Amino acid sequence: MSHTWRNRILWLITAVFCVFAFLKATPLADSLRALIPAISILVPTLFAFMHGARRIGWPAMLSFFVIAFVISWCMESLSIATGFPFGHYHYTDNLGPKLGTVPLLIMPAYFSMCYVSWTLAHAVLDKFDHRADALQRFAVPVVAAFIMVMWDLCMDPSRATVTQAWIWHHGGSYFGVPFVNFMGWFLTEASSFF
């Protein structure tokens, strides 16, 4: 596929996601309720694969996906069972079929946001087109982890209360989300990127 066509497809994917995000905030949201989890997760996953394949190649992206899948499933399963690192919660059936206690859609969501956060961290630090140096090996994972936590700060309250994709057992001070969740996210993300 040519560079031009790949760019057009990436922009089309971005436009579809933006239109869908807008529609979720309109009265049409009720008629889209069944599609919201899949489109909200699978469209960014497709974007991450296409963008990443162009940037670092398919073998590296497939490795990235496998690592993100395993880490996210393990950490989510651990937290559901023990409360560490995110706190005590459980998933409802709103996100569809599960692998153990974790919905299958969670792992692609984690992968796509990891990739986007990692890419944004490179851009923020002006390390997008440079070879790895000491700053990049330390700063990129830290900045990427903060970007992932910012995403969770925006996403978690509505998913836990409005759509009830998961339920916090003891709630928390941030719109019903416990602070330990965000600390757990930072720990998990930073360790994933290092």
Would you say 113 and 151 are in contact if contact means Cβ atoms under 8 Å apart?
A: yes
Q: Which residues contact 16 (CB under 8 A, 6 or more apart)?
A: 43
User: Would you say residue 1 has pLDDT above 70?
Assistant: no
pLDDT of residue 181: 96
pLDDT of residue 126: 84
The pLDDT of residue 132 is: 66
* Encoded tokens for 83: 């409360």
pLDDT in tens, 182-193: 999 999 888 877
What's the average model confidence in pLDDT over 114-139?
83
On whether the CB atoms of residues 176 and 160 are closer than 8 A, the answer is: yes
**8 Å CB contact between 127 and 135:** yes
Confidence of residue 134 (pLDDT cuts 50, 70, 90): confident
pLDDT digits (tens, 9 = 90+) for 150-184: 999 999 998 899 889 999 999 999 999 999 999 99
pLDDT tens digits, residue range 9-65? Answer: 889 988 988 888 887 778 877 777 777 777 888 899 999 999 999 889 999 999 999
Residue 127's pLDDT is 77
Higher local confidence (pLDDT), 7 or 134: 7
Question: Residues 76-124: pLDDT tens digits?
Answer: 999 999 999 999 999 999 889 999 999 999 999 999 999 999 999 989 9
